[in-house]
Amino acid sequence: MRVTKFEHAALTLVEADRTLVIDPGNFTSPLGLERVVAVVITHEHPDHWTPAHLTRILSAFPDTPIFAPEGVARAASDFAITVVHPGDRVEADPFTLEFFGGRHAVIHESIPVIDNVGVLVNDEFYYPGDSYAVPAGKPVQLLAAPVGAPWLKIGEAMDFVLAVAPRRAFGTHDMTLSVIGRDMGRSRLTWAVEQGGGEFVVLDPGDGTDL
């Protein structure tokens, strides 16, 4: 399985020439995609999905299922959303998707907390969306770890990586950071993943790694 990072939170996973798209939001350039079989949207914020991205995907790959929590179904009411909840496990051949968490991390007490799901793909790759939801009891081979956000404190992000203890990790959710800030965050997550004997992988937009 090939995992590719794009700008900000967007990711693609390719297995057996089929593609899973995760969180194509408004900080992400149009994606060149082939044989899309599913889209996962972790939550409703526009940096994780846009009508334009979904329309482009569905125009090229009609009837592609979109898996997302209830908040996305309300925000994206013009699209057919398959609502998923923490604990759900669904198939989009050749991908198995299992969902965790349920709530977005707190930004500020004045801002309502919304639905958010983390997704574990093929029992190997995990992305938490905008949360620190840990896939308890699941050995994660590759973790996409958020490194910059209004809700993120780098010490908490480090604790999240320590709790997941993946074999490998890379930083994502990073378009709001300067180059200096991104690299500082990466260095902290490098320390965290190495505490469990893992390895940090530096991925810039368009870079990928294999599982």
pLDDT in tens, 79-137: 999 999 999 999 999 999 999 999 999 999 999 999 999 999 999 999 999 999 999 99
Q: What is the pLDDT of residue 98?
A: 98
CATH number, domain of 133, equals 3.60.15.10
Q: What is the pLDDT of residue 181?
A: 97
Question: What is d(CA 12, CA 86) in angstroms, rounded to the nearest whole number?
Answer: 21
Expressed as residue numbers, the domain containing 90 is 2-210
pLDDT classification of 26: cutoffs 50, 70, 90? very high
The structural domain count of the chain equals: 1
Give me the mean pLDDT over the 147-157 stretch: 97
- Of the CA atoms within 13 Å of residue 157, those in its CB half-sphere come to 30
Q: What are φ and ψ of residue 161, in 5° steps? A: -65, -40
Give me the mean pLDDT over the 175-192 stretch: 98
- At what angle are helices 154-164 and 179-194 packed, to 10 degrees? 30
